Amino acid sequence: MRVSLKDVALRAGVSIKTVSNVVNDYQHVTPAMRARVQQAIDELGYRPNVTARHLRNGRTGIIALALPELGNPYFAELASAVIDAAAGHDYIVLLDHTGGRREQEMLVSQGFRALVIDGLILSPLELADEDLSGRTEQVPLVLLGERHYDLPYDHIAIDNVAAARAAVRHLLDLGRREVAFLGAQPRRNRPAELRVRGWREELAAAGLDAGEGLVAATDGWGHEDGARAMARLLDAGRRPDAVFASNDLIAIGAMRVLSERGLRVPEDVAVAGFDDVVEGRYGAVTLTSVSPDKAAIARMAVASVLDRLDGADRPARRQTAGLTLIERESTRGRAARG
Amino acid sequence: MRVSLKDVALRAGVSIKTVSNVVNDYQHVTPAMRARVQQAIDELGYRPNVTARHLRNGRTGIIALALPELGNPYFAELASAVIDAAAGHDYIVLLDHTGGRREQEMLVSQGFRALVIDGLILSPLELADEDLSGRTEQVPLVLLGERHYDLPYDHIAIDNVAAARAAVRHLLDLGRREVAFLGAQPRRNRPAELRVRGWREELAAAGLDAGEGLVAATDGWGHEDGARAMARLLDAGRRPDAVFASNDLIAIGAMRVLSERGLRVPEDVAVAGFDDVVEGRYGAVTLTSVSPDKAAIARMAVASVLDRLDGADRPARRQTAGLTLIERESTRGRAARG
DNA sequence: GTGAAAGCGCTAACAA
DNA sequence: TTGTTAGCGCTTTCAC
């Protein structure tokens, strides 16, 4: 059986409370007493039972992080950042993935998978406002990655539209005139929708074609989706001189197809992605990409959860994390290695 | 305040026990009673307090998974698989990363980061037998990915040596004669050590040079490590006709450098890696790689933990997960697309 | 088949 | 400064 406070108290010949005081670094304990108790603790190898402590004070020290897909390096890198940010506050992270499916995202938001958590950070792909409006679960919820939720939840956003526009402008600045968009099925309020919008706005601002013929939608966000979409576009007879993909994996899949078809990147087709995943920095052609500040996102998200736990009773807050466009070979050519 | 069993009991006009019976699907409850209690539960929106339940029965429903680095897609993909495997048994997964650092791995193995877990799956990089021999933490520990631990812990291994030999043999079968090894600093019992050993054995069996001049050690397991190691080898005047890297990221980093130096893959240099990460399937040249069965590893690991939790009192078990060598363009050329 | 009550290990009032 | 005790919400004997 595991050793409890009582055992230590017995051993040290003091009361449970005194042991508890020592364990919790309570101020008013005489050094002599502290030493005596500490010795008993060491001898017995006592470790506090966190479950009991949490039953008592209502906290578990765990926050859940629910992401669409850990296999996507963007989310893996983000998860890493969240684990570190949480560790800085003595919190640990329970990880879940939703597959980006709406029902799963709803389940998670209602806490059906994890009833032990103090807070939840959710990065939704499909979830709509109305899916969350009936939320009854009490633990603080922080939303990630979107910008148009109109709900009473804290929200760490990135400015998808502005970022997409910056990427497209970069392509236009390089003299490209036929910029295709590759990316997940744009549905209302989803990241893909905002990124197409940015693409469309920037082209429109430049007086260029943003017709549907230049958009190749994908079912998902993986390499293979990008490869298929690119192939479809080319098979349809389009020969854009630039491609903006709604994430890096799609961009990399597209580059793969371009190379198979004998098209050079960036000479024939310039390619830009979104996420700045490590993978993009090591391909045969390094990938130009919009780079969200993942560490900042993680920090803000964790801070928001803890803030709510500390009883902050303020209106829902929307914070925007920084973004940088990192220009690499897929748009600038080899000279631009980075 | 959250609604508890007591509230439901009050509402339904029954005792706490009866409500508990209903919640836990206890057999002998009259349907009428069950319906009445269920109604109260629904009306009040009762959700069991898992912390209390766990304090009572000693389980938390959480297993921890500690991996070196989530940014490495192999581990991200493995984490995904473990989450799914655990979900199949109504367990959730607490994720931690160790950076592959020994002290951190020791801390995790002692449970210092997470005192709430029922079991721990640890994938060590640096940990040595003696680091674990003094382990006092009680929760079941399952080790991942190695094969030479001589400790009383269940262990899901892959046969690194055999896998490395198979990869090298493939390179030799293609007619290559100067096969370099790129990979993390080989230290005793670490995966890298076993993979160099396989490389060395297979070359020796073929009567070929396995001299130190063909080994380029790396500090870590990332793209940049592979890039640096490859550059160093070439700068030293070696011009191998094949490279076996101890993981895919190193292989991809190396391919990047080869291409910068104007060497073609696989015509000039054939490249094989280890892990079969998705990234390797979508580069300009797809990567031949040793593919461990990640789903099987996850399944076995979770099963081992649960087995121990169910009180299995058997000697430590060593299971070996399957491996396949996936041949792609980096050794076979474009004909072999896959 | 259902109820009463003890107790899991801990913390925090309150008492001494 | 330290000890006593109630109670967090649940499960589980043991009565009824």
Q: Which domains does chain A have, with CATH numbers?
A: 5-44 (no CATH), 58-159+293-322 (3.40.50.2300), 160-292+326-332 (3.40.50.2300)
Give the residue-averaged pLDDT of A285-306: 97
| φ and ψ at residue A284, rounded to 5 degrees | -60, -35
Q: What is the dihedral of CA B31, B33, B36, B38, to 10 degrees?
A: -70
Residue B150: predicted pLDDT:
79
CB contact under 8 A, A284 and B227: no
B5: pLDDT strictly greater than 80: yes
Q: Which nucleotide is nearest to A17 (CA to C1')?
A: D3
Model's pTM, two decimal places?
0.90
A336: pLDDT strictly greater than 50: no
pLDDT bucket at A84, cuts 50 / 70 / 90:
very high
Residue A24: predicted pLDDT:
86
- The whole-angstrom separation of Cα A285 and Cα B297 is 34
Give the residue-averaged pLDDT of A9-13: 90
- The whole-angstrom separation of Cα A271 and Cα A226 is 12
Average pLDDT, chain A: 91
Please tell me the distance in Å from A162's CA to the nearest CA on chain B.
Answer: 27
pLDDT bucket at B261, cuts 50 / 70 / 90:
very high
Mutate to test the interface with A, among B281, B282, B328 (most CBs of A within 10 A): B282
Nucleic strand C under 7 Å from the C-beta of A177: no
Alpha helices in chain A (DSSP H): 5-12, 16-23, 31-44, 50-57, 73-87, 102-109, 129-133, 160-173, 191-205, 223-235, 248-260, 294-309, 329-332
- The whole-angstrom separation of Cα A274 and Cα A195 is 9
Q: Please give the DSSP secondary-structure letter assigned to residue A142.
A: E
Average pLDDT, chain B: 91
Taking contacts as CB-CB distances below 8 angstroms, the residues of chain A near B74 are none
CB contact under 8 A, A278 and B222: yes
For D8, nearest residue by CA–C1' is: A56
User: By the 8 A CB rule, do A224 and A193 touch?
Assistant: no
Length A3 CA → C10 C1' (Å): 13
Residue A139: predicted pLDDT:
86
Higher pLDDT, A230 or A134: A230
A325: pLDDT strictly greater than 80: yes
Give the residue-averaged pLDDT of B177-190: 84
CB contact under 8 A, B136 and A45: yes
- Closest partner residue to B95 (CB to CB) among A45, A93, A282 is A93
pLDDT bucket at A73, cuts 50 / 70 / 90:
very high
- CA B314 to centroid of chain Cα atoms: 24
Taking contacts as CB-CB distances below 8 angstroms, the residues of chain B near A138 are 2
- Closest partner residue to A284 (CB to CB) among B92, B93, B285 is B285
Taking contacts as CB-CB distances below 8 angstroms, the residues of chain A near B94 are 62, 92-95
Residue A246: predicted pLDDT:
95
B335: pLDDT strictly greater than 90: no
Give the residue-averaged pLDDT of B159-186: 94
pLDDT in tens, B202-237: 999 999 989 889 999 999 999 999 999 999 999 999
A120: pLDDT strictly greater than 60: yes
Q: If DSSP codes are grouped into helix, strand and coil, which group holds residue B24?
A: coil
A186: pLDDT strictly greater than 80: no
Q: If DSSP codes are grouped into helix, strand and coil, which group holds residue B238?
A: coil
B165: pLDDT strictly greater than 90: yes
Quote the tokens at residue B210. Answer: 């396995």
Residue B146: predicted pLDDT:
67
Please tell me the distance in Å from B115's CA to the nearest CA on chain A.
Answer: 6
Higher pLDDT, A301 or B108: A301
Residue A337: predicted pLDDT:
46
If we measure between CA atoms, which residue out of B33, B39, B3, B28 comes closest to residue B15? B33
CB contact under 8 A, B77 and A71: yes
Chain B residue closest in CA terms to A83? B96
Taking contacts as CB-CB distances below 8 angstroms, the residues of chain A near B92 are 94, 96, 113-114, 116
For D9, nearest residue by CA–C1' is: B52
- The whole-angstrom separation of Cα A22 and Cα A258 is 66
| φ and ψ at residue A55, rounded to 5 degrees | -60, -40
CB contact under 8 A, A223 and B282: yes
Q: Which nucleotide is nearest to A53 (CA to C1')?
A: C10
Length A110 CA → C14 C1' (Å): 39
Would strands B323-326 and B119-122 be described as parallel, antiparallel, or unpaired? unpaired
Give the residue-averaged pLDDT of A63-91: 94
B143: pLDDT strictly greater than 70: yes
Taking contacts as CB-CB distances below 8 angstroms, the residues of chain B near A224 are 282
A303: pLDDT strictly greater than 50: yes
Residue A48: predicted pLDDT:
86
Give the residue-averaged pLDDT of B271-288: 95
Work out the angle at residue B335's Cα, subtended by the Cα atoms of residues B329 and B338, and round it to the nearest 5 degrees.
Answer: 55
pLDDT bucket at A45, cuts 50 / 70 / 90:
confident
pLDDT bucket at A25, cuts 50 / 70 / 90:
confident
User: By the 8 A CB rule, do B253 and B330 touch?
Assistant: no
Q: At B161, which helix (H) or strand (E)? A: helix B160-173
CB contact under 8 A, B83 and A97: yes
Nucleic strand C under 7 Å from the C-beta of B138: no
CB contact under 8 A, B92 and A87: no
Task: State whether the Cα torsion A87-A93-A98-A104 is positive or negative.
Answer: negative
pLDDT in tens, A251-261: 999 999 999 99
Give the residue-averaged pLDDT of A182-186: 82
Which amino acid belongs to residue B280?
A: G
Length B50 CA → C4 C1' (Å): 23
Range with lowest mean pLDDT among A63-72, B48-57, B82-91, B329-338: B329-338
Length A17 CA → C14 C1' (Å): 13
Sheet containing strand B270-274, edge to edge, reads: B215-218, B179-184, B242-245, B270-274, B288-292, B323-326
Higher pLDDT, A145 or A252: A252
Q: Which nucleotide is nearest to A54 (CA to C1')?
A: C10
B23: pLDDT strictly greater than 80: yes
Residue A338: predicted pLDDT:
45
Chain A residue closest in CA terms to B54? A51
Residue B47: predicted pLDDT:
85
Taking contacts as CB-CB distances below 8 angstroms, the residues of chain B near A100 are none
User: By the 8 A CB rule, do A61 and A91 touch?
Assistant: yes
B188: pLDDT strictly greater than 80: no
- Half-sphere exposure of A115 toward its Cβ, with a 13 Å CA cutoff? 15
Length B56 CA → C4 C1' (Å): 18
Range with lowest mean pLDDT among A216-220, A225-229, B263-267: A216-220
Residue B1: predicted pLDDT:
60
Please tell me the distance in Å from B93's CA to the nearest CA on chain A.
Answer: 6
| φ and ψ at residue A218, rounded to 5 degrees | -130, 160
pLDDT bucket at A1, cuts 50 / 70 / 90:
low
